[in-house]
Amino acid sequence: GESVGLHLPTLSVQEGDNSIINCAYSNSASDYFIWYKQESGKGPQFIIDIRSNMDKRQGQRVTVLLNKTVKHLSLQIAATQPGDSAVYFCAENSGGSNYKLTFGKGTLLTVNP
Amino acid sequence: DAGVIQSPRHEVTEMGQEVTLRCKPISGHNSLFWYRQTMMRGLELLIYFNNNVPIDDSGMPEDRFSAKMPNASFSTLKIQPSEPRDSAVYFCASTMDRGAQHFGDGTRLSIL
């Protein structure tokens, strides 16, 4: 049936644990992927990106993994902190002269102290 | 460094009124995007500009919506006349070529 609204996947973790947020994409032509964090009342904030010629990229406490075979992207957050609580979006770009990003529905991460 | 700046942060107005949202992109960025975010539909791209030229406006809901970018440091999104269903958070983002888009903190629009 028709959804009343977006039902965000949720992930609840304890402070200090590692978090893994997953994202599936559908366009096999996508060659650039970005993870964003959105806190309440703010705009999406860039976390980390990865191009399709890579499988893994690390930042500060975050790692993005890309599996092009199954069109899957994940964001790993190490030692999750209460300040990490937010909605996380993956976004993809299909390359060429197209500058548009296609955003996923988002995952709500809640970190319990 | 200054990020993307949007104004106003909040706007409450009566239906039928004209609404103008403003955006200053990050200096040096050559692409600018307008998005709308609602609980029902998530984050939707309305229109984007490259080098001040509108490239794709397929997401603009209807003729009541218009966007302009008169120069590289300023863009407006106008709704005339506004309707209650236009209530949403409107975001502006900018980027250099096909890099990561950087978002402003949005304008929360309520049409009564």
pLDDT digits (tens, 9 = 90+) for B30-85: 999 999 999 888 899 999 999 999 999 999 988 999 999 999 999 999 999 999 99
d(CA B13, CA A95): 40
pLDDT attached to residue A3: 39
At A13, is the pLDDT very low, low, confident or very high (cuts 50, 70, 90)? very high
Is the N-terminal amide bond of B8 cis, ω within 30° of 0? yes
Arithmetic mean of pLDDT, A52-61? 95
Q: How far is B87 from chain A (nearest CA, A)?
A: 15
Q: Quick one: CA torsion of A95, A97, A100, A102, rounded to 10 degrees? A: -20
* Interface test mutation site (partner B, options A98, A100, A102, A107, max chain B beta carbons within 10 A): A100
Shortest Cα distance, chain A CAs vs residue B88, angstroms: 12
* Mean of the per-residue pLDDT values of chain B: 95
More confident residue, A102 or A2: A102
Q: How confident is the model at residue A26 (pLDDT cuts 50, 70, 90)?
A: confident
Tokens of A91: 């976004």
